Structure 1
Amino acid sequence: MSFNFKTIDDLEVSGRTVLVRVDINSPVDPQNGTILDDTRIRLHAETIRELSDRGARTVVMAHQSRPGKKDFTTLEQHAHVLSGILERPVRYVDDIFGCAARESIRELKDGEVLLLENVRFYSEEVLKRSPSEQAETHLVRKLSPLIDFFINDAFAAAHRSQPSLVGFAVKLPSAAGRVMERELKTLYSALKDVKRPCVYVLGGVKVDDSIMVMKNVLENGSADLILTTGLVASIFLAGSGVKIGRVNCDFIKSRGYCDFIKVARKLKKKFGDRILVPVDVAVCRDGKRVDVPVSKIPNLQIQDIGMETIKVYAERIREARTIFANGPAGVFENPDFSIGTQDILNAISSSDGFSIIGGGHLAAAAVKMGFEDRIGHISSGGGASISLLAGEELPAVRVLEECTHP
């Protein structure tokens, strides 16, 4: 696995108009539009600041949430926050590719930054099509004549084939931004040169993602051991014949994951001891955490892995030379059931091996619990990093590699 695309270093951007696609999708208070966490904005500010400092006329394109969600809103507040982080004015226009947007782009001077409106306000943005088809959308055809270079910095959305992510790379000289470049170099390098033993810790509630990754890394031999936590563990326990209680079976059914119990059974039969399941779990009884062996799980919601499991998992993690982790071990938002997640993160951070956390809730937990500076790499994109680990192509990366321009 390798990469073959241009970066900002390959472009002479001074005096040129540069369209940079970022992913500053942030937690937003639905009542007043206030941004509750500016982590992603700060992350992409590095690319935007560099372009501005080098004299580019920088046009920023981004999305916030998706239609139907409470936080599907304008990017006006994002412009204010970005302006504060950059310590320079960031113009905002409540238009994407109409007359107001195009005129604002034309008026840009060297070093100035303009943020366009939420690109998902445009209905065609949510449709999945090939890059060549997306290149013919109104968005791409209207803006491309005004742009000299396209830079994709939105690694977190790189697994999506949408106009703003793949269409411009077909039409314009394109490159990866600093976030995209750093993510891909780190992940590609770790996947190409895996230090042994390599341990995957897969949990959370997105079982389909975890099993997709599990099948890929076990079958291609890149993983030596899988440690299951969260709902992933519940499904593997059920697949191993453990009676996990009606309430937990009902939860699996409510998520539409019943079919994965059969998949888990087949994987466990095929790969045996390379997939570890908990020996005990934690439930809430009379308002308190109670750890029970998996042979005696009551009809109560499983909320964390148990203390004996934590000891076993921590030991295997500390022995690892490469660690990939995705998804929390339990309901980490509740202090009583954050022990599994916290102790696993502690084991990862104290290991001598190189560690990667695949974004999402586990990344948020790592930051919240103070492990951020002790993890090798925390990915900015859960979906994109999971797709990469599962052996899938990232459309936005592929188009950067395939589309060459003079």
Structure 2
Amino acid sequence: MSFKFNVIDDFDFKNKTVLIRIDINSPVDPNSGVILDDTRMKLHGETIKELSEKGAKTVILAHQSRPGKKDFTTLEQHSKVLSKNLNLEIKYIDSIFAHDAINSIKSLKNHEVLLLENVRFFSEESLSRTPKEQSKSILVKKLSPFIDFFINDAFAAAHRSQPSLVGFNGVIPSLAGRIMEKELKIIQNALENVKKPCVFILGGMKADDSIDVMENVLKNETADFILVTGLVANIILLSAGIDIGDLNVKFIKDKGHCKMVKKSKKLLKNYKNKIIYPKDVAIEDENGERVDVAIDKIPNRPIFDIGIESIKDYAKIIRNAKTIFANGPAGVFENPKFAMGTEDILNTIANSNGFSIIGGGHIAAAAVSMGFEKDMDHISSGGGACINLLAGKKLVSVEALEKSAKE
């Protein structure tokens, strides 16, 4: 894995109009419109401030949620939070490429920053097509005549092929922002110079992605041990011939993971000693209390966490690891009764001597909310993009940047 794209250091941005795509998709209270977490905005602050200091006229493209969801809203509140975090005025306009937006872009002065409206208000943004096709989108045609450089800093969305992410690359000079550059370098370096023993902790609800990661890192001998939790653990237990109860089997089938069960059986056959699954799990009893049960005594009740004995076993392996990748929580950590697995695993990682990378999404949110943020070597800003890299898949936005660099 080696990336060859242009970065901010390669160009002079003074008096230039720069379009930057960032990912500030944030939890929003659907009733008040108040942003509940500004982590991603703080992360992108480095690129935005640097461009402003270099004398650029900066135009920001971003999205919030998707049509039909309760937190699908304008970016007006985001501009206020960004302004506060960066101590820099972030102008906002409720337009993407209409006359008002174009006039605002044209009237920008050096060092000024303008945030355009939620790009997903534009229906074409929802279409997943090739970068070449996206370069012909209305969004690109309307904005590109007024832009000197395009910067993609949206690592969290780097696995998506949408106009705002890949459409500008073949039209105007394009480069990676600081977040994109940092994420790719850290993950690439960790995978290429992995220190042994290397442990992957895979859980959460995106079981198909996690099992793809498992297959990749076992085949290329990156991983010494795979510790499974969450839905991934349930699939592995089922694949190992464990009776996990009809309710849990039905949940796996309803999620469309039957193919993953077949794949897991093959992985268990070929890498039996490297895939470590729970010896006990946590369920909720008739009184609504947490009960830990051995895997040969699982009743027909939903599994919500790994059990205490499993937590102890996993902790021993994690403590001896030199490299640790963790993706996905161990259970329903939002419920305090079933947060034990996630909390103890994160605590063990935080106190270990190994180099740790925490995937984005729910596991990153859990690490922050539980106070482990400063004890991790790297918390990724993008769950989907991070897990795609770990699975050995290419990121379409990164490929587009590399192609632009060649051209």
Q: In which range does the TM-score fall when normalised by the shorter chain? A: over 0.9
**Counterpart residue number, 1:351:** 352
Q: Secondary structure at the match of 2:19?
A: strand
| Conserved? CA contact 1:173–1:405, under 8 Å | no
Paired residue for 2:61? Answer: 61
1:333 equivalent in structure 2 = 334
Q: Tell me the residue number matched to 1:160.
A: 160
Q: Does 1:124 align with 2:120?
A: no
Look up the equivalent residue of 1:30 and give its one-letter code.
P
Describe the superposition over 1:131-152 as per-residue Cα deviations: whole angstroms up to 9, x where unpaired: 1111111111111110111111
Q: Which residue of 1 aligns with 2:361?
A: 360
Structure 1 residues 382-391 or 64-73, which shifts more? Answer: 64-73
- Counterparts of 1:40 and 1:391, CA distance in 2: 25
Q: Deviations over 1:101-144 (max 9, x none)?
A: 11110010011110001111111111111111111111111111
User: In 2, distance between residues paired with 1:370 and 1:88?
Assistant: 28
- Pairing 1:109-188 to 2, within 5 Å after superposition: 109-188=109-188
Aligned residues: CA RMSD: 1.1
Matched, 1:94 2:98: no
Conserved? CA contact 2:4–2:405, under 8 Å: no
Q: Is this contact kept in 2: 1:172–1:405, CA < 8 A?
A: no
Query: What amino acid does structure 2 have at the position aligned with 1:384?
Result: A
Identity %: 62
Aligned to 2:194: 194
Distance, in Å, in 2 between the alignment partners of 1:248 and 1:193 is: 38
| Distance in 2 separating the partners of 1:262 and 1:393 | 24
Contact 1:64–1:118 (Cα < 8 Å) also in 2: yes
Alignment correspondent of 1:16: 16
Following the alignment from structure 1 to structure 2, what is the Cα–Cα distance between the partners of residues 305 and 68?
A: 34
Q: Distance in 1 between matches of 2:90 and 2:243?
A: 57
Q: Deviations over 1:384-404 (max 9, x none)?
A: 000111111101111111113
Asked whether 1:319 is paired with 2:320, we answer: yes
Instruction: Give the Å deviation of 1:405.
Output: 7.1
How many residues are aligned here? Answer: 406
Runs of 4+ in 1 over 6 A off after TM superposition: none
**Cα distance between partner residues in 2 of 1:284 and 1:387:** 33
In 2, Cα distance between equivalents of 1:404 and 1:229: 40
Contact 2:175-2:405 at 8 Å conserved across structures: no
Match of 2:225 in 1: 225
Q: Provide the rounded CA distance (Å) in 2 between the counterparts of 1:376 and 1:245.
A: 38
SS in 2 for 1:403: helix
The aligned residue for residue 77 of structure 2 is 77
Does the aligned pair in 2 maintain the 1:66–1:72 contact within 8 Å? yes
Q: Counterpart in 1 of 2:288?
A: 287
Partners of 2:405 and 2:237 in 1: CA distance: 49
In the alignment, residue 339 of structure 1 is paired with which amino acid? M
Residue equivalent to 1:38: 38
Unaligned residue ranges in structure 2 (runs of 5+): none
1:209 and 2:224 matched: no
Which 5+ residue runs of structure 1 have no aligned equivalent?
A: none
State the Cα distance separating 1:220 from its structure 2 match. Answer: 1.4
Report 1:260-275 matches (<5 A).
Answer: 260-275=260-275
Q: Deviations over 1:9-57 (max 9, x none)?
A: 1110111100000000011111222111111111111111111111110
CA displacement at 1:262 relative to structure 2: 2.0
Q: Helix, strand or coil for the counterpart of 1:272?
A: coil
How far residue 258 of structure 1 moved from its aligned partner, in angstroms, is 3.0
TM-fit CA distance, 1:260: 2.1
Name the SS for the 1:365 alignment partner. Answer: helix
